[in-house]
């Protein structure tokens, strides 16, 4: 008979006791026996979040063997893949292997279903048996391994109308375009920082859809290649190149583009630190900044806004919002151009 588990996975926490799996320093990743409310997943691919992979790659100086060594060490020490520097994880693609007795009849999943988990690897019990391939350009790592999805964990079944790796790459950042859909209103001026990246392109599409013909979408890119790609997609009214860690030059450009009015919404998708003040300064006092980036320092954001007298509303980048998987996959169905780019880059 299977042991009874806690809905939020407290039964897997080794230390410190009493905390939830995400902030825990170590969790139990023994997959020999599962609890009655767990789903055992045979893992094929880890999609490491961008801030985390960027940090690991820099630490490893681009050496794939060293990247693998760092990742294995993280999982060995913690029982999960939570980057000790960024605190972030990612998500995974795998096949349902076994469903706990207490969940039978309560979930729409069955053994053999291919799913992407929509909860962070920073709280997911994970065992890596072998790292088979590392794809640094798309932050994906193919492995042999197992993982546990808790009863409270969310997931998306991989749809039949697109390749699994394509769906995985989009679902990894599903919170960003879905939150964009909630925050952006017709007529808004929207700044997307890191607009040429994976989450940025999805946000640009969704922002343009929501602002309508009376709104304006401005895309800030860090490289000529991503800027050119974004211009060709045609989702932005303006695309410009800038260093998002330098707030004053970016502010001057935004003032020029908005006739001094600034932006109603700023969405920060970058994977590097020190872009908080750029987001805040470019946004109206009555506006909203959505920090999707896991490289955000929320102390810097809060004290920085206070320091410049900004009354902007700041939203922590919760990677989950209702319907986020459906909204994001639907974008790839609606936009043939974006699907083509995502297929070329990530699938």
Distance (Å, whole) CA 96 – CA 78: 23
- Distances, alpha carbon 147 to alpha carbons 64, 139, 143, 344, in Å: 23, 19, 11, 29
Within a 10 A sphere around the Cβ of 241, how many other Cβ atoms?
A: 14
pLDDT tens sequence across 285-341: 999 999 998 888 999 999 999 999 999 999 998 888 889 999 999 999 999 999 999
| % of the chain at pLDDT higher than 90 | 91
296 contacts: CB under 8 Å, gap ≥ 6: 268, 273, 275, 276, 317
pLDDT tens sequence across 55-65: 999 999 999 99
Peptide bond just before 16 cis, omega within 30 deg: yes
| Structure-block tokens of residue 78 | 């913690």
Domain with 223 in it: what CATH number?
Answer: 3.40.50.720
285 and 341 together in one domain: yes
Average pLDDT estimate for 156-173: 91
Beta strands in the chain (DSSP E): 13-15, 26-27, 39-48, 90-99, 114-117, 126-135, 140-149, 155-157, 189-193, 216-221, 238-241, 263-268, 283-291, 313-316
| Structure-block tokens of residue 34 | 């599962």
101 and 142 together in one domain: yes
151 and 208 together in one domain: no
Q: Is the pLDDT of residue 347 over 80?
A: no
pLDDT tens sequence across 89-145: 999 999 999 999 999 999 999 999 999 999 999 999 999 999 999 999 999 999 999
pLDDT tens sequence across 336-345: 999 999 999 9
95 and 139 together in one domain: yes
| Confidence band for 50, pLDDT divided at 50, 70 and 90 | confident
Cβ atoms 149, 37 nearer than 8 A: no
The string of DSSP letters for 184-208 reads --TT-EEEEETTTSHHHHHHHHHHH
Q: Total structural domains in the chain?
A: 2
Pairing relation of β-strands 313-316 and 283-291?
A: parallel
137 and 263 together in one domain: no
Q: Which domain holds residue 116?
A: 10-158
């Amino acid at each position: 008979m299977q042991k009874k588990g806690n809905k939020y996975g407290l039964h897997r926490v080794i230390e410190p006791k009493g905390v939830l799996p995400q902030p825990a320093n170590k969790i139990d990743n023994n997959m020999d026996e599962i609890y009655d409310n767990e789903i055992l997943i045979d893992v094929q691919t880890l999609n490491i979040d961008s801030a985390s992979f960027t940090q690991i790659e820099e630490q490893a100086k681009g050496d794939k063997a060293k990247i693998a060594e760092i990742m294995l060490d993280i999982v060995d020490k913690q029982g999960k893949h939570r980057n000790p520097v960024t605190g972030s994880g990612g998500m995974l693609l795998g096949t349902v292997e076994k469903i706990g007795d207490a969940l039978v009849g309560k979930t729409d999943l069955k053994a053999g279903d291919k799913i992407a988990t929509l909860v962070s690897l920073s709280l997911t019990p994970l065992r890596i048996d072998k790292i088979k391939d590392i794809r640094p350009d798309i932050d994906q790592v193919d492995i042999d391994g197992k993982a546990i999805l808790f009863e409270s964990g969310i997931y998306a079944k991989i749809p039949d109308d697109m390749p699994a790796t394509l769906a995985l790459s989009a679902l990894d950042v599903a919170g960003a375009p879905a939150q964009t859909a909630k925050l952006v209103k017709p007529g808004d001026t929207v700044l997307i920082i890191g607009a040429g990246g994976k989450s940025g392109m999805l946000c640009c599409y969704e922002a343009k859809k929501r602002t309508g013909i009376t709104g304006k979408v401005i895309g800030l890119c860090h490289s000529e290649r991503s800027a050119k790609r974004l211009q060709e997609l045609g989702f932005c009214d303006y695309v410009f190149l800038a260093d998002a860690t330098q707030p004053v030059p970016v502010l001057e450009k935004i003032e020029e583009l908005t006739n001094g009015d600034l932006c109603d919404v700023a969405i920060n998708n970058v994977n590097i630190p020190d872009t908080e003040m750029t987001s805040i300064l470019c946004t109206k006092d009555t506006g909203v900044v959505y920090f999707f980036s896991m490289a955000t320092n929320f102390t810097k954001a809060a004290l920085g806004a206070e320091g410049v007298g900004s009354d902007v509303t700041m939203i922590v980048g919760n990677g989950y919002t209702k319907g986020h998987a459906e909204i994001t996959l639907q974008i790839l169905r609606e936009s043939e151009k974006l699907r083509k780019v995502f297929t070329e880059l990530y699938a």
